Structure 1
Amino acid sequence: MHFSIPETKEIKNGFKTFITYLIYINGSFHCSLRYRQLYHFHIQLKKAFGANSLPDFPPKKFLPLNSVHIEERRSQLEKYIQIVSQDSQIINSDIFNGFLLAAQQESHSNDINVNNCIDVYQLDWQPIRLMTNGQENSENVLKKICQTIRMNENHIPYFALYLIERIIGDNNVEDFRMIRRLQNFESPLLTLRTIRNKMMAANDQNYMIIIRKSYFDIQLDQDLFNDTVALNCIYLQAVHDIENGHIICNADTIKRLNHLKMKSDKLEYIRLARLQKFYGYLHFESCHCDLPSMPPKTSVTMFAGNQELIIRANNTDAVLISYCLQSMVEEMLLKREGKKFRSEGLAIRFNTSPNSRLINHNEISDQQINDINNMANNNDNNGFEWNYCKQDGSQFPLSTSSSTTTLTSEKSQNSEKSNNDMIEQQQKPNGMVDPLSQRFHEISLVENN
Structure 2
Amino acid sequence: MKMHFCIPVSQQRPDTLGGRYVLYSVYLDGFLFCRVRYSQLHRWNEQLRRVFGNCLPPFPPKYYLAMTTSMADERRDQLEQYLQNVPMDPNVLRSDVFVDFLKLLQLDTFNITTKKSFLDIFLPDGRSIKVEILTSDTAERILEVVSHRIGLCQELLGYFSLFLIQLHKEDKLSVLKKMADFELPYVSLQSSEVENCKVGLRKWYMDPSLDARLMDCRVAGELIYLQAIQDIEKEWAKPTPAQREKLEVLQKEDNQTKFLVLSREVHHYGYMQLDPCICDYPEPGCEAVVSVGNDQISCCITLPDNKTQDVVFQMNKVKCWQVTFLGTVLDMDGPLRTLNQNLELRFKYSEDSRCQWVVFYTKQAFLLSNCLKKMITEKMVKLAAENPEMQIEVPEQGKSKRSHIQQNQQKDYFSFLPRKSKISIKVAEDDCVFGTIKEEDL
TM-score by length of 1: 0.69
Contact in 2 for aligned 1:164/1:208 (Cα 8 Å): yes
Q: CA deviation at 1:98?
A: 4.0
| CA deviation profile, 1:239-290 (whole Å, cap 9, x unmatched) | 1111122112111111111122222222221111111122122222221211
- Among 168, 175, 183, the alignment partner of 2:172 is 175
How far apart, in 2, do the equivalents of 1:134 and 1:23 lie?
A: 20
Q: CA deviation at 1:133?
A: 2.1
How far apart, in 2, do the equivalents of 1:404 and 1:225 lie?
A: 17
What letter corresponds to residue 407 of structure 2 in structure 1? K
Tell me what 1:194 maps to: 191
Contact in 1 for aligned 2:29/2:367 (Cα 8 Å): no
What letter corresponds to residue 194 of structure 1 in structure 2? S
The verdict on how the C-alpha distance between 1:21 and 1:368 changes in structure 2, with shifts beyond 3 A counting, is farther
Identical aligned pairs, as a percentage?
23
The verdict on how the C-alpha distance between 1:181 and 1:88 changes in structure 2, with shifts beyond 3 A counting, is farther
How far apart, in 2, do the equivalents of 1:318 and 1:68 lie?
A: 43
| CA deviation profile, 1:418-448 (whole Å, cap 9, x unmatched) | x8xxx5x332259xx8734999xxxxxxxxx
Could you say what secondary structure the match of 1:246 adopts?
A: coil
Could you say what secondary structure the match of 2:27 adopts?
A: strand
Are residue 221 (structure 1) and residue 211 (structure 2) matched? yes
What are the equivalent positions in structure 2 for 1:60-71 lying under 5 Å apart? 60-65=62-67, 69-71=71-73
Contact in 1 for aligned 2:297/2:312 (Cα 8 Å): no
How far apart, in 1, do the equivalents of 2:370 and 2:41 lie?
A: 23
| CA deviation profile, 1:393-418 (whole Å, cap 9, x unmatched) | xxxxxxxxx9972476xxxxxxxxxx
What are the equivalent positions in structure 2 for 1:256-271 lying under 5 Å apart? 256-271=246-261
Tell me what 2:43 maps to: 40
Moved more, 267-276 or 220-229: 220-229
- Among 398, 401, 406, the alignment partner of 1:405 is 398
The verdict on how the C-alpha distance between 1:194 and 1:45 changes in structure 2, with shifts beyond 3 A counting, is same
| CA deviation profile, 1:169-220 (whole Å, cap 9, x unmatched) | xxx3x2321221111221111111111xx34xxx3xx111111112223333
The verdict on how the C-alpha distance between 1:164 and 1:5 changes in structure 2, with shifts beyond 3 A counting, is same
Contact in 2 for aligned 1:117/1:131 (Cα 8 Å): yes
Could you say what secondary structure the match of 2:115 adopts?
A: coil
TM-score by length of 2: 0.70
Tell me what 2:107 maps to: 105
Are residue 365 (structure 1) and residue 378 (structure 2) matched? yes
Contact in 2 for aligned 1:159/1:211 (Cα 8 Å): yes
What are the equivalent positions in structure 2 for 1:15-414 lying under 5 Å apart? 15=17, 17-45=20-48, 51=54, 54=57, 56-65=58-67, 69-84=71-86, 87=88, 89=90, 92-94=93-95, 95-108=97-110, 110-168=111-169, 172=170, 174-195=171-192, 198-199=193-194, 203=195, 206-291=196-281, 294-313=282-301, 314-319=308-313, 329=348, 340-341=353-354, 343=356, 357-358=369-370, 361=373, 364-365=377-378, 368=381, 405-406=398-399
Contact in 2 for aligned 1:312/1:319 (Cα 8 Å): no
| CA deviation profile, 1:6-35 (whole Å, cap 9, x unmatched) | 222344453354222110112211112111
What are the equivalent positions in structure 2 for 1:429-448 lying under 5 Å apart? 429=408, 435-436=412-413
Contact in 2 for aligned 1:286/1:302 (Cα 8 Å): yes
How far apart, in 2, do the equivalents of 1:224 and 1:404 lie?
A: 13
Contact in 1 for aligned 2:121/2:201 (Cα 8 Å): yes
Contact in 2 for aligned 1:89/1:375 (Cα 8 Å): no
| CA deviation profile, 1:42-73 (whole Å, cap 9, x unmatched) | 3455566665762x433211124566654443
The verdict on how the C-alpha distance between 1:136 and 1:223 changes in structure 2, with shifts beyond 3 A counting, is same
How far apart, in 1, do the equivalents of 2:190 and 2:284 lie?
A: 39
Could you say what secondary structure the match of 2:172 adopts?
A: strand
Could you say what secondary structure the match of 2:310 adopts?
A: coil
How far apart, in 1, do the equivalents of 2:309 and 2:370 lie?
A: 24
How far apart, in 2, do the equivalents of 1:139 and 1:322 lie?
A: 31
The verdict on how the C-alpha distance between 1:113 and 1:436 changes in structure 2, with shifts beyond 3 A counting, is closer
Contact in 2 for aligned 1:157/1:407 (Cα 8 Å): no
How far apart, in 2, do the equivalents of 1:287 and 1:316 lie?
A: 15
Q: CA deviation at 1:138?
A: 0.7
What letter corresponds to residue 25 of structure 2 in structure 1? L
What letter corresponds to residue 226 of structure 2 in structure 1? L
Moved more, 310-319 or 132-141: 310-319
Tell me what 1:415 maps to: none
Contact in 2 for aligned 1:139/1:184 (Cα 8 Å): yes
How far apart, in 2, do the equivalents of 1:437 and 1:239 lie?
A: 33
How far apart, in 2, do the equivalents of 1:49 and 1:88 lie?
A: 10
Between Structure 1 and Structure 2, the one with more helix by share is 1
How far apart, in 2, do the equivalents of 1:306 and 1:5 lie?
A: 33
Q: Name stretches of at least 5 consecutive residues in structure 1 with no aligned partner.
A: 347-353, 378-401, 409-418, 440-449
How far apart, in 2, do the equivalents of 1:15 and 1:66 lie?
A: 22
| CA deviation profile, 1:111-166 (whole Å, cap 9, x unmatched) | 23222221110111111101212221111101111222233333333211111112
The verdict on how the C-alpha distance between 1:361 and 1:139 changes in structure 2, with shifts beyond 3 A counting, is farther
| CA deviation profile, 1:68-95 (whole Å, cap 9, x unmatched) | 654443233224334545x364774425
Tell me what 1:9 maps to: 11
Contact in 2 for aligned 1:138/1:186 (Cα 8 Å): yes
